[in-house]
Each structure stands twice: as structure tokens, then as C-alpha cells.
């Protein structure tokens, strides 16, 4: 896989988008279904505006589906304490309020720092010309015709001037998209917002538990059928990816929050719309390590492990996006996961927040 030098600034992002999207898992049903054991602790008496209480409990994380991506295997039994979670992804309007209050400038709006960037590419990679080290981000740019899906540079482009305020680059804006999820979010951009809001990013375990909505071991967030009774329950890609988006679900790009029905925990868009950042470093063998099938990761060398990008410094993203398609990248499932360069954004990555309850009596009953 090769990319023109003008893409070198977004090289870490390219690898992050590619991982787990090189083949398509079959639509087989999960065999991991077990009874979900919810925590017996009660919802805190103090409420959190705009957030849903996630009770915590024991559940099966990951999957043993034969054709699932390797990074989501094997299924492991875990537990999580109760927590609060935003009912929807952080919107453009909410992020605008944050930046107006703090003056924060996102990573995509800043000139790239070559000293930081070169740590994520092979040693000896030549420094791009200064004219290329300008603010920008990765934007999905669909080709006009059908193309082979072995080279993602055919539909991902480094666009100078692209950022959360200008999702497709100069000339685009947020008018009419105030209620859409904010995109082009790097990890620090999301982290800064959560700290301002008095919240935090979810761990990967918390995110997957919440996405399952109490339906343990199911393939999707609502069961084992993608479109039960012909209903669209998430914003994904219909048609031949990457060139032909039929938009049968009503959307080519992002959709407004709360467009589709929430899961049983009251959470919207846990599947599709935009990928969501978590607080965890990406480890392709995480589940195998948890199951005792792989050695412990030596985090002193690198807290992240991605065999397809040995210099990666990536955070876990979950949930898939409006670009996940049946013919290419079936990541609109709770167990799906991939790495995303911590210092970069793309036009399909956002986030939501969680909050730990203040009560000390909310730990899981065993």
C-alpha cells in the first residue's frame, strides 16, 4: 500500500482507517449468547442531564464468530461497574459552545509538528516539504466509478483546511448540521471537551457494554438481524462501497442525533453514524491477552500494538460509521473495534462522554 507524499501528514490516519477494513465478515449469527447479569445496584438518586444510567454487570465482550475480525476475538467474560453515559454523540452545537467558552483550537486546525509526526512513521521517512505541513484532516472523497477496495487512498484524501468547522474542507460549514455529531476529532480534542464538561471518555469495556444494551452476545446492538422487519436502525452505507451510496436509510453523510431509535439503555447511535473515541490504547491482541492466549503487552515500549503499523500510537474507536458497508467494512457491531491515530481526525470520527457516579455503593455485586 503506497501513498503520495502529500498524504504523509495523514499517514497514521490512513493505517488506522485501514485496519479491520480489509475484508468483510459474513453475516453469520453469533454463538456467544449468554445470560447478561446486570448489577443489582440501583440507579443513583442524583440525575445527570442528557445522560443515561448504565447499570453495569457481567457480560461477554468480543466475539467468537468465525468470520469476525481477528482484533475482536476471542470472546471474554468481563464485568463493569455502573456509570452515566451521554445519550447521544457530542454535537457541533455542543462543541461550538465549548470552543467559544475556552478558545480551544483542535488538532486539525493547527500546523502539524513534524517532530511528533515522525514518531509514527518508519525511521528514515523524509520530512515533507514545509508547504505540506499545513493544517488539515482526512476527508472521505468517493470515487466516481467502482474501484478495487485494496487501496484506501482511492477514497480518503488529505484536505488542507478540513476540520470540525469545515467537515469537507474550505467552502463547507455547519449550517444545518448543528445537531449532527462533531467530526475530525483527535483524542486530545475529545479529552479537552470532556474535562471542560466535567466528564470523561469511556473505556472500551464500558462502551461495548453500553452498546449491547443488555443484549449479551448479539451480533448487532438490537439483535442478530441488521434490518429487522425491514427497519433501518442505524446510519450505515447502503450500496457498493466506496462509489455508490444509495442512502436507503436517508443519509449519505452524518445524520442528526436521535434520528434512529435508541437501544434499551436509552442510547442513540451506538452503531453507525460516526466512530466514537474511547480512552483505551489500541491493542490488536487485547482479547487474546485477556483470555490468556497471548503474552502481556510491554507498554513500556509502546502502549499500542498494531501489527499492520508497528509505529502506531492509536486509540480504540468503536461503533462503525456512515461509511460501514456490507460489501467492505462491517463494523456496525458492538464487538467491532479498530485503532485510530491519537493525534489525527477524519470526517467520520466523533465521541460521547461518560461520568463516574459519586456514590461509593455502586460497585458490582458478585
**DSSP per-residue string spanning 246-285:** --TTS-SS---TT-S---TTS-S-SSSSSEEEEEEEPBTT
Task: Please tell me the pTM assigned to this model.
Answer: 0.88
Residue 35 is predicted with a pLDDT of: 62
Cα separations (Å) of 208 from 61, 153, 193, 273?
7, 30, 21, 16
Query: What is the pLDDT at residue 133?
Result: 84
pLDDT at 299: 87
Identify each DSSP E strand in the chain by its residue range: 37-38, 51-54, 57-61, 76-80, 83-86, 136-140, 156-160, 239-240, 244-245, 275-281, 314-318, 337-341, 349-350, 354-355
Beta bridge partner(s), residue 85: 52, 354
CB 181 within 8 A of CB 257: yes
pLDDT along the chain (366 residues), means of 10: 38 43 50 59 85 95 92 96 97 98 97 78 81 90 95 95 98 98 98 98 98 91 92 96 97 98 96 98 96 93 90 94 94 96 95 87 37
Domain definitions of the chain by residue range: 5-355
Which grid cell sits at 283?
491493542
The 3-state DSSP class for residue 148 equals coil
The third-level CATH classification (topology) of the domain covering 5-355 is 3.90.1580
Amino acid at each position: 500500500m503506497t501513498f503520495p507524499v502529500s498524504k504523509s501528514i495523514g499517514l497514521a490516519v490512513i493505517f488506522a482507517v485501514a485496519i479491520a477494513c480489509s475484508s468483510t465478515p459474513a453475516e453469520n449469527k453469533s454463538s456467544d449468547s449468554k445470560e447478561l447479569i446486570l448489577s443489582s445496584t440501583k440507579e443513583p438518586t442524583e440525575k445527570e442531564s442528557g445522560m443515561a444510567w448504565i447499570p453495569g454487570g457481567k457480560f461477554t465482550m468480543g466475539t467468537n464468530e468465525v468470520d469476525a475480525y481477528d482484533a475482536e476475538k476471542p470472546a471474554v467474560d468481563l464485568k463493569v461497574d455502573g456509570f452515566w453515559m451521554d445519550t447521544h454523540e457530542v454535537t457541533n452545537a455542543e462543541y461550538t459552545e465549548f470552543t467559544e467558552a475556552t478558545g480551544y483550537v483542535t488538532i486539525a486546525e493547527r500546523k502539524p509538528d513534524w517532530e511528533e509526526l515522525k514518531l509514527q512513521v518508519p525511521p528514515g521517512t523524509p520530512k515533507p516539504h514545509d508547504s505540506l505541513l499545513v493544517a488539515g484532516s482526512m476527508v472521505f472523497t468517493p470515487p466516481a466509478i467502482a474501484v478495487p477496495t485494496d487501496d484506501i487512498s482511492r477514497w480518503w484524501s488529505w484536505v488542507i483546511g478540513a476540520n470540525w468547522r469545515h467537515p469537507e474542507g474550505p467552502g463547507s460549514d455547519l449550517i444545518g448540521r448543528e445537531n449532527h455529531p462533531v467530526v475530525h476529532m483527535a483524542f486530545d480534542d475529545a479529552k479537552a471537551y470532556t474535562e471542560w464538561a466535567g466528564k470523561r471518555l469511556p473505556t472500551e469495556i464500558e462502551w461495548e457494554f453500553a452498546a449491547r444494551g443488555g443484549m449479551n452476545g448479539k451480533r448487532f446492538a438490537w439483535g442478530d438481524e441488521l434490518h429487522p422487519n425491514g427497519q433501518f436502525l442505524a446510519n450505515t452505507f447502503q450500496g457498493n462501497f466506496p462509489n455508490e451510496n444509495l442512502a436507503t436509510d436517508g443519509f449519505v453523510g452524518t445524520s442528526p442525533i436521535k434520528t434512529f431509535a435508541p437501544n434499551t439503555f436509552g442510547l442513540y447511535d451506538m452503531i453507525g453514524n460516526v466512530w466514537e473515541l474511547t480512552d483505551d490504547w489500541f491493542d490488536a491482541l487485547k482479547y487474546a491477552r485477556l483470555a490468556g492466549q497471548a503474552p502481556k503487552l510491554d507498554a513500556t515500549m509502546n502502549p499500542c500494538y498494531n501489527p499492520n503499523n508497528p509505529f502506531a500510537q492509536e486509540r480504540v474507536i468503536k461503533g462503525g460509521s456512515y461509511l460501514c458497508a456490507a460489501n467492505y467494512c462491517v463494523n456496525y457491531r458492538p464487538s467491532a473495534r479498530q485503532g485510530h491515530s491519537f493525534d489525527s481526525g477524519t470526517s467520520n470520527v466523533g465521541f460521547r462522554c461518560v461520568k463516574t457516579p459519586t456514590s461509593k455503593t455502586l460497585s458490582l455485586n458478585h
